[in-house]
Amino acid sequence: MSTATRVGAVIITMGNRPDELRALLDSVAKQDGDRVEVVVVGNGSPVPDVPAGVRTVELPENLGIPGGRNVGIEAFGPGGTDVDVLLFLDDDGLLARHDTAELCRRAFADDPELGIISFRIADPDTGETQRRHVPRLRAADPMRSSRVTTFLGGANAVRTKVLAEVGGLPDAFFYAHEETDLAWRALDAGWMIDYRSDMVLYHPTTAPSRHAVYHRMVARNRVWLARRNLPAPLVPVYLGVWMLLTLLRRPSRAALRAWFGGFGEGWRSPCGPRRPMKWRTVWRLTRLGRPPVI
């Protein structure tokens, strides 16, 4: 059954890491089993030279991470339906093993409720997995696989039936929290998400705050996430908790100013369609260890 599962991969690039992109493509080409079809999306930039057989799409402007990935999805037919599973991989990552695609095929074939798999991200030199890369609150042991409530955007596999049912990533988010938005919609539709420590993407250790827009986007999109997906009584609770956590982390004055600017923008600007999750989904998230108030 697993060998009949068609697997594709979407990689977005700004064209500024050609060597890393080539190494990633080589690691995808070396996967066991049937060939993984690959689409590389140049997000407002030309695509560097790629091996024969790799399809490319060059966008005239940067659509952001979710917008670029959505273009890659559509390159596999409406909602990605030309394949059964799509891998989403950062262009400076590298699949550590040759059997990752086969592990994905088997996981989806064995569990009809499984909709999304989050890979483990590890530093290629130290093997270390940062705490923030384990998508659960109890993140001390990155080698423990489990059901989770969200996933890592640049190291995951998604069953395309999920995308057909709940839609793709929210384009307007541009950067930050787009994965959780999709994860909550998938969970609300009855799908499950797994974190798998044996499916590894090597990626250099970085800090998310390296992005100039980090603090504003994180705050704005956090508000949008709540407004779009949470039952009304939970919206102020969720956002109040995150405001408190942000203050406890004692960011710099400039970072805090950007954060509050984004927080206000999230309330003033359109967030897209509101589809609050069912209360039974709130309970499911709670049982999985992450109630949607944190």
Distance CA 154, CA 14 (A): 14
- 243-248, long-range: CB within 8 Å, 24+ apart, which pairs? 245/294, 246/219
Whether 1 has a pLDDT exceeding 80, the answer reads no
pLDDT of residue 281: 98
pTM for the full predicted model: 0.96
Q: How confident is the model at residue 213 (pLDDT cuts 50, 70, 90)?
A: confident
Residue extents of the structural domains in the chain: 7-202, 212-288
pLDDT higher than threshold 60 for residue 252: yes
The residue-averaged pLDDT of 261-286 equals 98
CB of 169 closer than 8 Å to CB of 181:
yes
Question: Closest by alpha carbon to 288, among 107, 163, 118?
Answer: 118
Q: E strands along 43-173, which residues?
A: 55-58, 85-89, 94-95, 114-122, 146-148, 155-159
Q: Quick one: what percent of the chain has pLDDT higher than 90?
A: 95
The mean pLDDT value for 51-78 works out to 98
User: What mean pLDDT, rounded, does the chain reach?
Assistant: 96
- For 102, other C-beta atoms within 10 Å of its C-beta total 18
Nearest Cα neighbor of 180 from 189, 190, 170 is: 170
CATH code for the structural domain at 7-202:
3.90.550.10
Give the three-state DSSP class for 57: strand
